[in-house]
Chains A and B, each alone.
Chain A
Amino acid sequence: MPLQFSKYLKIEVEVVVARNSFQAEAVDKGKMSKKFVEKSAVVFMNEDFARRNGFKEGDIVRLSRRGRSINVKVFICETSPRDGVMMPNSIYSSYLADFDNFKRFRAYIELSDGDVTKPDEIIDQIKNKNKK
């Protein structure tokens, strides 16, 4: 297997959050459904950006911001920003965003060996940290 140098790279990118009708459609299968996770736990990037930074479709990447991180899957999409990535509105983007940077924020991205984060993992954090 060829050595994948990007595995050791962690770069800062701008993340644009936007609605996506395919993801909205998946809501009707349920927000805990596999379909919703497939359409929400994703990061879209254009082909050029992916090539320049050593990512390819299907990679699992870790997005990190302010001490929080999630694992999402890479999709190549030509409507992604020129120098950044795009995520659909969901519990995943909300996990990283704040109101000063609600639709556009900067985050670190790197390849990950782990699985895609499940919504339950985020909800558990909410429950466990705050249990009355």
Chain B
Amino acid sequence: MICTGCALLCDDVIIINDSGNLKVRNACRRGAKLIANYKNLRADATINGKKVNYEEAIERVKEIINNSESLAIYGMDTISIEAQKLAIELAERKEAYIDDNSTFCLGDFVEMILKKEIPSTTLDEVRDYAYVIFYWGTNPFHTLSRHMSKFTYYPRGKRRQRGYEEDRFLVVVDVRRSHTAKLAKKNAKFFEVRDDLELIQAFIDALDGKPPKIFANDVFRVIKEMEKSDFNVIFGGLGLRYGLKGKYDKFLEMIRKMNERTKVYFIPLGCHPNMRGFNELLYGITGYVNKYSFKDKESKEDFAFYNLLFEEKIDTALIIGTDPLNSLPFEYAKKLAKINVIVIDPRENFTTKIADVVLPSAITGIECGGKMKRIDGVEITLEPMIEAEIDDVSIIKSILNLIMEGI
């Protein structure tokens, strides 16, 4: 079975269904707990915090959305591509805004990959061919716990038969000695940085034949290691994204210069199981990966969900499979309480506490199937472990049908 605990979508998880109690084999801590505890803290259908039946809740959703003059649909990174498609259709019908977590996560990198501004590859190719493996501003030990064992540092691959002992070179860049950085011992280098841009400049200088201002010996050594192979990869996380302070051009310049010497690919390491799926789907429909307005037919920073909240540009938010009260800075999150909030989620979370309406859904990959895109853009088909009566597809379809009656 496929585990939807994170964006790796591991395909070797074994599930034993003991009368609805799921026992899990092969999954990591995160995935195993998600699956084994799937019955915990399930959301109820509610209106203003009071339990109602599903039909009443969906009728209230219809009223709110039909009366909305400025709707934003937000989240969708944990639901199937099929459900995402319907949410995008709903946004189009209502001329609404649509956005996901990638706007403040790694969406910019995904857009660069889709626009072919940065070379990327698949995890399977990394396993088979990659020699120098960078983890830059990311700690897969905690975020994607099986990343290193399934695809990068530890496994044997077609041209990497001797694994990490001899056939991999690990580079970790972080502001602290993370658990991943602690693995950087033999055939490895840990760069403890204060400023990511300084290290990027050091690589650029070294590649230009100038002495780098910091880490001079280590930067030259890493470049030398990279030149030993025709397949190297950089995995970048939020530490890199925010460390760049918006200066993506410097990072792209470094990658370009590295690729003049050897072959280097880049894969952004997000955590949500289907963030990549949402980005690719919206890109295919609109030419943009996130923060899109169907009314204005463009994407811009002003249309990021958090900016719409902050500037009080929306009267209603339909939040699907995410918890902005947990993830958005307080100054933005607090604005949610001023507007109508509809939450579609399998579980209670902080945002359900302030929602006008909650529609309980199914956990994708456990109680409903569909398709998702792995972190590297590879499409994965999910089969449900247990069938639920109501899922994101059926809920959004119902909303669409009801909205159509009102148009």
B384 an interface residue at 8 Å Cβ cutoff? no
Q: B40 and A31: CB pair below 8 A?
A: no
Q: How far is the CB of B266 from chain A (nearest CB, A)?
A: 19
The segment out of B67-75, B111-119, B348-356 that lies at the interface is B348-356
Contacts of A132 in B (CB 8 A): 337-338
Q: B142 and A20: CB pair below 8 A?
A: yes
Q: A123 and B178: CB pair below 8 A?
A: no
Bound CA–CA A98/B326 (angstroms) = 13
B344 an interface residue at 8 Å Cβ cutoff? no
Q: A102 and B329: CB pair below 8 A?
A: yes
Bound CA–CA A89/B350 (angstroms) = 14
The total of chain B residues at the interface (CB under 8 A) is 49
Within 4-21 of A, Cβ neighbours of B (below 8 Å) are at 16, 18-21
Bound CA–CA A32/B306 (angstroms) = 24
B85 an interface residue at 8 Å Cβ cutoff? no
Within 326-350 of B, Cβ neighbours of A (below 8 Å) are at 326-338, 347-350
Q: A28 and B338: CB pair below 8 A?
A: no
Q: A21 and B28: CB pair below 8 A?
A: yes
Give how many A-B residue pairs fall within 8 Å (CB-CB): 117
The segment out of A51-59, A80-88, A107-115 that lies at the interface is A80-88
Bound CA–CA A97/B333 (angstroms) = 11
B37 an interface residue at 8 Å Cβ cutoff? yes
A76 an interface residue at 8 Å Cβ cutoff? no
The B interface is mostly helix, strand or loop, or mixed, namely: helix
B238 an interface residue at 8 Å Cβ cutoff? yes
The total of chain A residues at the interface (CB under 8 A) is 43
B239 an interface residue at 8 Å Cβ cutoff? yes
Bound CA–CA A18/B41 (angstroms) = 25
Known: A19-B142, A127-B337, A130-B338. A31 touches B329 (CB 8 A): no
B158 an interface residue at 8 Å Cβ cutoff? no
Within 176-190 of B, Cβ neighbours of A (below 8 Å) are at 176-179, 181-182
Q: CB-CB contacts of A86-129 with B at 8 A, as 1s and 0s?
A: 10011100111111001110000000000000010011011101
Residue on B nearest A78 in the bound complex, by CB: B177
Residue on A nearest B271 in the bound complex, by CB: A19
Partner of B325, one of A19, A86, A123, A131: A123
Q: B175 and A130: CB pair below 8 A?
A: no
Contacts of A78 in B (CB 8 A): 177
Known: A19-B142, A28-B33. A81 touches B326 (CB 8 A): no
B397 an interface residue at 8 Å Cβ cutoff? no
Bound CA–CA A99/B104 (angstroms) = 8
Q: How far is the CB of A31 from chain B (nearest CB, A)?
A: 5
Q: A104 and B242: CB pair below 8 A?
A: yes
Contacts of B36 in A (CB 8 A): 28
B279 an interface residue at 8 Å Cβ cutoff? no
Partner of B239, one of A20, A103, A125: A103
Known: A28-B33, A99-B329. A18 touches B337 (CB 8 A): no
Partner of B30, one of A21, A95, A123: A21
Q: CB-CB contacts of A17-34 with B at 8 A, as 1s and 0s?
A: 011111011001111110
B29 an interface residue at 8 Å Cβ cutoff? yes
Give A residues with C-beta under 8 Å from B: 16, 18-22, 24-25, 28-33, 68, 78-82, 86, 89-91, 94-99, 102-104, 119, 122-123, 125-127, 129-132
Q: Can you spell out 23 A-B residue pairs with CB atoms less than 8 angstroms apart?
A: A16-B175, A16-B176, A18-B142, A21-B28, A21-B29, A21-B142, A24-B142, A31-B348, A68-B330, A81-B175, A89-B326, A91-B325, A91-B326, A94-B327, A98-B329, A99-B329, A102-B242, A102-B329, A123-B353, A123-B354, A126-B333, A130-B338, A132-B338
